[in-house]
Amino acid sequence: MRVRICAVGRMKSGPERALVEDYTTRFDRTGRALGLGPLTISEVDDRKGGGMAAEAALLERTIPNGAVICAMDERGREMTSPQFADMLAGWRDAGRSDLALVIGGADGIDPALRARSDAMLSFGPMVWPHMLVRAMLAEQLYRAASILAGSPYHRV
């Protein structure tokens, strides 16, 4: 199952980008044997300032046809890393070929795109900077692959 992070905004060079690149490489290496990956990142910018609806239209173009859509949203479900790993494995085992993890802009994800999502995931009730969410999500993807591979990276 190919995995894509679809996000509003462009990542600049810096520590968050380095983390995302590191965890992407780790995920790709670990996930390959598990039928997960590669992990790609699609970035969009709403240069015309059209708000959430315009951002959603741009994000929609980056989501592969038939992909599972998982919206990163503060109203989403909080779960443990093993639960997240099981969710990924479930989609993979159901024959889903693509997963799109969607990160909205400063105002979040347009309600229409949220409604279309197969799942909504939250990293807790706090609001996190969007660039940091990418790094956290990339790490959790690697952790999920490690859990599924039986690697000691995740300790209970």
Q: Tell me if 128 is assigned to a ligand binding site.
A: yes
Q: 124 labelled as ligand-binding?
A: yes
Is 123 annotated to bind a ligand? Reply is yes
DSSP 11: P
Q: Is 104 annotated as a binding residue?
A: yes
State the Cα–Cα distance between residues 55 and 59, nearest whole angstrom: 6
Ligand-binding annotation for 127, yes or no, is yes
Please state, in angstroms and rounded to a whole number, the distance separating the CA atoms of residues 123 and 103: 12
d(CA 33, CA 64): 22
The answer on whether 20 is annotated among ligand-binding residues is no
Q: What is the dihedral of CA 72, 73, 75, 79, to 10 degrees?
A: 30
Is 91 within any annotated ligand binding site? no
Residues of the binding site for S-adenosyl-L-methionine: 104, 123-128
Residues of the binding site: 104, 123-128
